[in-house]
Amino acid sequence: MYDAKKIVPGIIIFVVLFTFPLWSNMGKAAPAPKPELPKTEKVCVMDTAYMKTEHMVLLNQWRDLVVRDANRLWVGPDGKEHLMSLQNSCMKCHSSKVKFCDQCHNYAGVKPYCWQCHLEPKENM
Amino acid sequence: MEKDRREFLKIGGISVLGLSALPVFEVLAQEKGPRYKPDPKALKGTQWAMIVDMKKCWEQQDKRQCKDCILACHKIHNVPDIPDVKREIKWIWMEEYKHAFPDQAHEYAPEKVKENPFMLLCNHCTNPPCVRVCPTKATFKRTQDGIVMMDFHRCIGCRYCMAGCPYGARSFNWGDPRPYLKPEDINMTYPTRRKGVVEKCTFCYERIDEGLQPACVEACKVKALIFGDVTDPKSEVRRILSGQYSLRRKIELGTGPNVYYLI
Amino acid sequence: MLEKAFKGGQKYWSLLLGLLVLSGIGFACFMLQLNQGLKITGMSRDVSWGFYIAQFTFLVGVAASAVMVVLPYYLHHVKEFGRITILGEFLAVSAVTMCLLFIVVDLGQPMRLLNVLLHPTPNSILFWDMVVLNGYLFLNAVIGWTVLSAERKEMPPPKWVKPLIYVSIPWAVSIHTVTAFLYAGLPGRHFWLTAIMAARFLASAFASGPSLLILLCFLIRKRTHFDPGQSAIDKLSKIVTYAMITSVFFLLLEVFTAFYSKIPGHMHGFIYQFAGYEGHAELVPFMWLSVILSVTALILLIPPQFRSNEKLLKIACITVFFGLYLEKGVGLVVTGFIPNVFDKVTPYVPTVPELAITLGVWATGFLIMAVLYKVAIGVKEEIRA
């Protein structure tokens, strides 16, 4: 092969670097997240399956509905009314960011910037 | 040819019909699924305005160095107290006559007017330059009640609105504001801001939408701040404005400020 | 064609390395700014735009280098410019890139930059500035590269470039006009509120862009085997002369309106610039230097025997460039905020990290220019050989 001395080590170095995340985490699977659900409330603003996958879409929709269109109330599928507010509604039931939000966010390695403005409930630990 | 045209018109007609039916479908879809709506308690107006009665205000300033409105507003909205005047953030603040009204101040004005500070805040202009210049609609004028709003989620921090505002009503977060908030004073029901966005008075849209008066109005014990709908001839603001002469800041610029001063 | 950028002498590589180091330092300071916020700059609540936006404003002018060679060549068949259109276009590419970088480093939330596209707002001049600057960058990059590729193959450029070239001419006017509109449409900023702002921008652009181009032509003639041609330089120097006269004339019009009308708001900006206002005189030495440079430039440019002298022309071009830099890149933006809307003065002085970021952006622009010029000159030398 033409220039094999350079190409082969190059390919090896590339493959090693490219697969670094795979083999460096081999055998140390992170434990599945266990977000703590509120004990007092049973129903959320939408059903659990939707909230699991789409809560960020919903929050994004809420912020426009509240800030831009002066809406305040969300009527859930069950007809129950909720205040549309991360700080004053979501976090009233899910009263611990550490035990709820962070569980999955840390697992998934995402850092939502909500908390740079919105205040998280004071944790009593 | 004839057939083609007929075909075209047919398809076009159906498309138009379909498009006009779209809003109906949207409403129907909303009926079934989750819905949203404003709070029924929300205050309703066409253009909110504020009157600042400086005579009443000055009395309180003399008596007890009153800053009730500033303290209430800044506490409720988590406005940081930044000591460096170049970087400070203010939603409602005090300014001397000659700086508040540089276009009409004169040296022979009564001592009282010259020496005592005026209360300044965003004028929620009828024709706001800040809204005109914003490249992302992060600042916009609410169509229903004329509040000049800030959407902190959307602001990119270009500061064009600060250049556009002739009233100095806008502040920029040059750094993270949180270190300048006292932990014990933080209002847990309202967010803070993050570095790199512009902020200003929002006429307490969050309170108006829940049926409450702005925080500064509520905090003023002598009713020197009067809030209401200036388009409603029966409103208290209109009654006061028709009763005595009032001042507005820099009216020659055509921005249509909605904060009136009585002296 | 890009391979030509990878073959150069030691001087070329050390130039690139030097520029790379400067932009690296600038980038490190930008990282600090991202982390700390814009508080690391000298800007304040009252002077909310500073050095970054001022550089951007000046560099929009430099981007006019392209149109001032393209227009005479394509519309008036001034053959002398055929050899250097590519230099004008590539200078414009690097100048506009710097403009865009300066806007990005000035943002409080640069990560949200794309909100401008996500929520397009036609009533905002900044939205249109984004459109025209990106458009001008695209036009010059595509036109320059395509025409140069064709030249290398010794073929006429493809037909589809012609319309783009014609579009690029009014487009160049649009970048100055729209950038001037950023300032000229704001109520309560008297120093900027002037109908001839766009005309002033065009005049100073047509002086500063071509004067840098002349200096670059001299440099290229000395350092490479490509000669941009004496007659092209002569023609450019004539353009610089008329543009500079117009630019100074427009500025004097502003001074007349302000001081004959005696409207305080219109005078205060000039008073702050040239005499100091309420005990603040931060800009006074710079603005007088700008006047001295501009007058020197006019003296050296107007008599034909002076400007045809290579040495004097070089000095004239340097004085034009720096004179206008001080006027647009230092004075114009900051003075709009002084005195502020409360008729108070908050002085502005850029900080060290702010200057380092500024220098970094300039270095990045010159890096792009060095590489593009290397390619262009490589092709020109190849054809000649």
pLDDT in tens, B186-236: 999 999 999 999 999 999 999 999 999 999 999 999 999 999 999 999 999
Complex-level ipTM: 0.91
Measured CA angle at C9 (ends A4, C311), to 5 deg: 160
* Three-state DSSP class for residue A82: strand
Looking at chain B, which residue has its C-alpha nearest residue A85?
Answer: B189
Q: What is the pLDDT of residue A25?
A: 78
Tell me the nearest-neighbour CA distance from B86 into chain C, angstroms.
5
Whole-structure pTM value: 0.90
- The pLDDT-based confidence of B103 (bands split at 50, 70, 90) is confident
Amino acid identity for residue B10 in this structure: K
Residues ≥6 apart with Cβ < 8 Å to B256:
B125, B126, B127
| Residue that is written with structure tokens 């970087």 in the block | B87
Q: What is the pLDDT of residue C7?
A: 84
Residues ≥6 apart with Cβ < 8 Å to C293:
C319, C320, C322, C323, C326
- Put simply, whether A91 touches B (Cβ < 8 Å) is no
Q: Tokens for B26?
A: 């949207």
- Put simply, whether A58 touches B (Cβ < 8 Å) is no
Q: Is the pLDDT of residue B94 over 90?
A: yes
pLDDT tens profile B41-92: 999 999 999 999 999 999 999 999 999 999 999 999 999 999 999 999 999 9
Q: Is the pLDDT of residue A47 over 90?
A: no
Rounded mean pLDDT, C10-31: 95
Rounded mean pLDDT, B15-20: 65
Rounded mean pLDDT, C161-184: 94
Measured between CB atoms, which of C110, C121, C188 is closest to B136?
C121
Q: What is the pLDDT of residue C237?
A: 93
- φ, ψ (nearest 5 deg) of residue B163: -70, -35
User: Cα(A90)–Cα(A107) distance, rounded to whole angstroms?
Assistant: 21
Question: For residue C204, which of C60, C99, C53 has the smallest C-alpha distance?
Answer: C60
Rounded mean pLDDT, C170-174: 93
Q: What is the pLDDT of residue B1?
A: 45
For chain A, the average pLDDT equals 88
Looking at chain B, which residue has its C-alpha nearest residue C116?
Answer: B136
- Residue pair C127/B135 in contact (Cβ under 8 Å)? The answer is yes
Which carries the bigger pLDDT value, residue B26 or residue C27?
A: C27
User: Cα(C241)–Cα(C309) distance, rounded to whole angstroms?
Assistant: 14
Q: Is the pLDDT of residue C122 over 80?
A: yes
User: Cα(A31)–Cα(A29) distance, rounded to whole angstroms?
Assistant: 6
CA neighbours within 13 Å on the CB side: how many for A67?
22
- Residue pair C185/C197 in contact (Cβ under 8 Å)? The answer is no
- The pLDDT-based confidence of B106 (bands split at 50, 70, 90) is confident
User: Cα(C215)–Cα(C87) distance, rounded to whole angstroms?
Assistant: 12
A-contacting chains (≥3 CB pairs under 8 Å)? B
Tell me the nearest-neighbour CA distance from B178 into chain A, angstroms.
9
Q: Tokens for B10?
A: 């047919």
To the nearest 10°, report the CA torsion of C324, C326, C332, C335: -160
User: Cα(C193)–Cα(C27) distance, rounded to whole angstroms?
Assistant: 35
H/E segment holding residue B50: strand B48-53
Q: Is the pLDDT of residue C24 over 90?
A: yes
- Put simply, whether A70 touches B (Cβ < 8 Å) is yes
- The pLDDT-based confidence of B17 (bands split at 50, 70, 90) is low
Q: Is the pLDDT of residue C383 over 50?
A: yes
Determine whether the interchain pair B37/A75 forms a contact, defined as Cβ–Cβ distance below 8 Å: yes
Q: Is the pLDDT of residue B4 over 80?
A: no
Q: Is the pLDDT of residue C4 over 90?
A: no
Q: Is the pLDDT of residue B16 over 70?
A: no
Rounded mean pLDDT, C299-324: 93
CA distances from A110 to A114, B153, B201, B258 (A): 12, 18, 33, 44
- The pLDDT-based confidence of C229 (bands split at 50, 70, 90) is confident
Q: To 10 degrees, what angle do helices C352-384 and C85-106 make?
A: 160
Determine whether the interchain pair A70/B144 forms a contact, defined as Cβ–Cβ distance below 8 Å: yes
Question: For the ranges A33-47, B14-28, C154-168, C366-380, which has the lowest average pLDDT?
Answer: B14-28
Measured between CB atoms, which of B89, B135, B195 is closest to C108?
B195
pLDDT tens profile C54-80: 999 999 999 877 888 889 888 888 888
- The pLDDT-based confidence of A76 (bands split at 50, 70, 90) is confident
Count other Cβ atoms within 10 Å, centred on residue C265: 16
3-state secondary structure B216-245: HHHHCCCCCEEEEECCCCCCHHHHHHHHCC
- The pLDDT-based confidence of C355 (bands split at 50, 70, 90) is very high
Residues in B closer than 8 angstroms to A46, CB to CB, are 34
Q: How far apart are the first and last CA of chain A?
A: 65
Tell me the nearest-neighbour CA distance from B169 into chain A, angstroms.
20
Q: To 10 degrees, what angle do helices C85-106 and C197-223 make?
A: 120
Rounded mean pLDDT, B134-141: 96
Q: Tokens for B11?
A: 């398809």
User: Cα(B141)–Cα(B130) distance, rounded to whole angstroms?
Assistant: 10
